[in-house]
Amino acid sequence: MSRIAFIGLGVMGSPMAGHLVRAGHEVTGFDLGQEAMARLRAAGGASAAGVAEAVKGAEIVITMLPADPQVEAVFPEILGSAEPGALYVDFSTITPQTSQKLAREGAARGLRVLDAPVSGGEKGAVDAVLSIMVGGSREDFEAATPVFEAVGRTFKLVGPAGAGQYVKAANQLVVGGTYALVAEAIVLMEAAGVDAAAGLDVLAGGLAASRILDIKRESMLARDFRPGFRIDLHHKDMGIILDAARGADVAVPMGALTAQLIAAARARGHGGLDHSALLKVTESLSGRDS
């Protein structure tokens, strides 16, 4: 079992840290929210007064933060406080370029670095069934395997530093596009007077089946958009996708359209809703606002 520092105890980080405690690891966390740290203490972990205090003495340092600015803000403290040879696992979704920079800077200071963005949303974090796409060395990936086993179900080393972020970009591309198409299917069926609930049940049992249909069709039909993963965050991810595609010199026309739909949802004030709220944009385009 390992001594772990966990920075970022939000919607995803809080249950992940709890799973690590239950797996027998010694977890010390830090978050700007006092309630989040209280939840970790209640789960059997410890809380720290700051990043440096949490990181000191840790064998593994984990971050689960919203975006590049937050990761870049705490990384200097991690570098300055981590033990030589410590392993840094960043579960955040950030740009591949930032992950590559962290890996270079970490290597120069004796810190082993993995980028390990996750997919599965809040439910996946709570149920410890996240999919984890990892960039870094094989040796460091194997060292982090007990952490991945505690919080996820599927985890793969997909390439060198930054590779995990490229795969996460591909994941968000597919997720955003699927939500957009499911939303159109719902609007079409409802406008035609079809039993949309029965229709989605049929779709979920055929070639159109998807994880999104499995876990989100009922809430979308009920227009229940309580956030598991907010539009604001998916908007950020679409920016990463378009930038990654430009850097790789490839065209992603469906991704660009999905990015515009997500931007429209955000512009209409839906940024705090779940990304399934793309349905609201699709309804609006057809003059069927709910």
Q: Indicate which residues carry an active-site annotation.
A: 168
Task: Identify the sign of the CA torsion 16, 21, 26, 32.
Answer: positive
CB 57 within 8 A of CB 6: no
CB atoms within 10 A of CB 176: 24
CB atoms within 10 A of CB 127: 12
CB 263 within 8 A of CB 236: no
CB 163 within 8 A of CB 185: no
Strand partners, 113: 88
CB atoms within 10 A of CB 50: 12
Which residues, 6+ apart, have CB-to-CB distance to 122 below 8 Å? Answer: 11, 12, 15, 227, 228, 229
CB atoms within 10 A of CB 178: 18
Rg (CA), the chain: 20
CB 215 within 8 A of CB 182: no
Pairwise CA distance, residues 194 & 217, whole Å:
15
CB 46 within 8 A of CB 21: no
CB 117 within 8 A of CB 85: no
